[in-house]
Amino acid sequence: MEKVLITGATGFIGSHLADANLKAGRFVRALVLPGDSNADALAAKGVEIIWGDIADAKAVSEAVKGMDIVFHCAAVVTDWAPKALFEKVTVGGTQNICHSASKFGVSRLVYLSTNDVFGLDETRVLDEACPLVPWKEPYPDFKIEAEKIVWRYWQEKGLPVSMAYPCWVYGPGDRSFVPLLADAIIKKEMLFWRKGPLVWPTYIDNLVDLLMLLSRDNRALGNGYLAHDGVCTTLEEFCAGIAEALGVTAPSWRIPYSFALAAGWCMEKACSLSSRTGRPLLTTYAVKNLGSRLSFSIDKAKNQLGWRPLVSFEKGFDQTLKWLLTLDRKSLKQK
């Protein structure tokens, strides 16, 4: 029986990945931060819980020891957190994982990156051959630094690495994308600052299917692959679909992009200078991310691995909206 370690297993993507590995008959271990109440659900399914911090090299070493495959999904996944936390968790945690994976000779490290690492160039179709380009934003920029560590271990230590670059991940269990949009739509706080920004949706089952393939296909060694549902839509259309499902008016208000960016900067500064906790209503990362018309190709995964999205966007979006309707509207905003 193959033994698998998943970091970030209590999160949206990690929890679905744990289910897929259990279904595949693998032994699953999760490194979980002490106090995380979501660990109970994993343990009830038969996942072995190892309590520890991804930033603690000793805890990581104990978790990786004896494992065949490591899925590294843990990171600071937000646009509003202290830079020191990104450095500690996203970068330092990746260093710890790579060191232990190399030390104990795992057969595969599958690293979860993000399409953000390819920057904001709208003049070309972005693919895996594109350079890593910073945004001057903590989330994508620290993910770039973490990715550099992974590739360095592949090149210098021969660590068997495969990587995925998901676009906008959504589906049942999501807490950072569709529910936040829904919350803003319900509260009439959703604004647009550019016409036709593109969304490249990645249904959770499609991403997990690719991650599982990366863990077993030797053609994926030393390679990274973009992932999405094979189609794009506009943010306006995406939000209109959410609004229709909720039975509320679709957002239509627009403000100039430059005004939105300035407002995000001011709100960030105000939060930084005050004692208030919580994310600002608007951040510069959100303005850039929700106002881009980027294009991404998944041809590499198709051509090299024969991978195709299992679930169409239409079906995935429908399933997500059905799940959304089961949630308490007052608790949609978790961050």
CATH of the domain at 129: 3.40.50.720
Q: 272 in a domain, yes or no? A: no
Mean pLDDT, rounded, for 164-193: 94
Which residue has better confidence, 269 or 115?
115
Q: 208 in a domain, yes or no? A: yes
Contacts of 117 (CB under 8 A, 6+ apart): 132, 133, 140, 143, 144, 147, 165
Mean pLDDT, rounded, for 203-222: 98
Contacts of 212 (CB under 8 A, 6+ apart): 17, 20, 21, 24
Q: 67 in a domain, yes or no? A: yes
pLDDT digits (tens, 9 = 90+) for 235-286: 999 999 999 999 999 999 999 999 999 999 999 888 888 766 678 888 999 9
Q: What does the block give as tokens for 207?
A: 């991403």
Which residue has better confidence, 293 or 335?
293
pLDDT band at 201 (very low <50, low <70, confident <90, very high): very high
- Amino acid 281: pLDDT: 82
The overall average pLDDT reported for the chain is: 95
Angle between helices 235-246 and 178-186 (to 10 degrees): 70
- Amino acid 335: pLDDT: 46
Q: What does the block give as tokens for 270?
A: 């105000």
Among residues 73, 17, 43, 8, which one has the least CA distance to residue 213? 17
Q: 87 in a domain, yes or no? A: yes
Mean pLDDT, rounded, for 73-87: 92
What is the tally of helices (H) and strands (E) in the chain?
A: 13, 13
Residue 174's SS3 state is coil
Q: 300 in a domain, yes or no? A: no
pLDDT band at 212 (very low <50, low <70, confident <90, very high): very high
Percent of the chain with pLDDT over 70: 99
User: What is the distance between the alpha carbons of residues 263 and 246, in angstroms, rounded to a whole number?
Assistant: 28
The alpha carbons of the chain give a radius of gyration, in whole angstroms, of 19
Q: 234 in a domain, yes or no? A: no
Q: 303 in a domain, yes or no? A: no
> Which range of residues forms the domain containing residue 58?
3-176+200-229
Q: 271 in a domain, yes or no? A: no
Mean pLDDT, rounded, for 49-75: 97
pLDDT band at 331 (very low <50, low <70, confident <90, very high): confident
pTM for the model stands at 0.95
- Return the biggest CA–CA distance within the chain: 56
> How many domains, in total, are found in the chain?
1
Asked whether the predicted pLDDT for residue 333 surpasses 90, the reply is: no
Q: What does the block give as tokens for 118?
A: 């390819």
